[in-house]
Chain A
Amino acid sequence: DAMVIQNPRYQVTQFGKPVTLSCSQTLNHNVMYWYQQKSSQAPKLLFHYYDKDFNNEADTPDNFQSRRPNTSFCFLDIRSPGLGDAAMYLCATSPRGGATGDEQFFGPGTRLTVL
């Protein structure tokens, strides 16, 4: 089945120790998104890509970086995780994004714990 895959599902890191979360998709969608979601809060958009065109949200901290080496894969790098970065990180894809009626398809998420 076509899907969005995130690895790992659970990630534990130490304060200040760099961590990379990965996302892959078999849907061949053009748009990929990274969201941060804390408990009982709305998902917060960190980045999105239209193909290789990178878009950074204005309030995304510099501590967060992203890479999309090809259509299928996208990575979220947290250079120096703080306790406030503990959250669920959701990857999503969309066929075209923008002003279309396309829905976003979400991966299962990676729950990040910072010790």
Chain B
Amino acid sequence: GQNIDQPTEMTATEGAIVQINCTYQTSGFNGLFWYQQHAGEAPTFLSYNVLDGLEEKGRFSSFLSRSKGYSYLLLKELQMKDSASYLCAVRDRGSNYQLIWGAGTKLIIKP
């Protein structure tokens, strides 16, 4: 079956580094997206991985291992505004290339 797993909630300290993990099981992996969603707002795109390895974009980096069905989002130099939910979504050939979404990881930043 198709499944996306992320931790429900994480807490980190302002200025620190946090890694949010995502594991997936799909019938036809075709790319992985990370989105940020502040409470009551729409998701906004953070990163896209289709090949193994690390994609870096400023304070945010995303890693993919297709053989392990695993990705992580790394946030550096945490700021209070990074408090949000982070959603992992996998594009799946078996679902006509539509996104299979995780429920998101709520990240709480403390001063």
Task: Give A24-53 as 1s and 0s: 1 = Cβ < 8 Å from B's Cβ atoms.
Answer: 000000000000000011111100100000
Q: Which of B10-18, B58-66, B76-84, B90-98 contacts A (4 or more CB under 8 A)?
A: B90-98
Question: How many of B's residues come within 8 Å of A, CB to CB?
Answer: 25
Residue in contact with B31 in the complex, picked from A42, A90, A101, A106, CB distance below 8 Å = A101
B102 touching A42, Cβ below 8 Å: yes
Residue A104 at the B interface, CB < 8 A? yes
List the A side residues contacting B98 at CB < 8 Å: 45, 48
B104 touching A42, Cβ below 8 Å: yes
With A42-B103, A99-B97, A101-B50 already in contact, the answer to whether A108 and B91 are too (CB < 8 A) is no
Task: Give B20-48 as 1s and 0s: 1 = Cβ < 8 Å from A's Cβ atoms.
Answer: 00000000001101000000111111001
Q: Which residue of B lies closest to A97 (CB)?
A: B97
What is the interface of chain A mostly: helix, strand, loop, or mixed?
loop
Sample of 6 A–B contacts (CB below 8 Å): A40-B104, A42-B101, A98-B97, A99-B30, A99-B93, A105-B45
List the A side residues contacting B45 at CB < 8 Å: 103-105
List the B side residues contacting A81 at CB < 8 Å: none
Which B residues contact A (CB, under 8 angstroms)? 4, 8, 30-31, 33, 40-45, 48, 50, 87, 91, 93, 96-99, 101-104, 106
**When chains A and B are docked, how far (Å) is the Cα of A43 from the Cα of B102?**
8
Which A residues contact B (CB, under 8 angstroms)? 40-45, 48, 55, 88, 90, 97-99, 101, 103-109, 111
List the A side residues contacting B99 at CB < 8 Å: 45, 104
Q: Which residue of A lies closest to B28 (CB)?
A: A99
A43 touching B50, Cβ below 8 Å: no
**When chains A and B are docked, how far (Å) is the Cα of A113 from the Cα of B71?**
35
**When chains A and B are docked, how far (Å) is the Cα of A105 from the Cα of B42?**
9
Q: Which residue of B lies closest to A102 (CB)?
A: B48
Q: Please list the 6 inter-chain residue pairs (A to B) with the smallest Cβ-Cβ separation, ordered nearest first.
A: A106-B42, A42-B101, A103-B45, A42-B103, A98-B97, A43-B101
**When chains A and B are docked, how far (Å) is the Cα of A47 from the Cα of B42?**
17
Q: Which residue of B lies closest to A40 (CB)?
A: B103
Separation in Å of the A101 CB from the closest CB of chain B?
5
List the A side residues contacting B97 at CB < 8 Å: 97-99
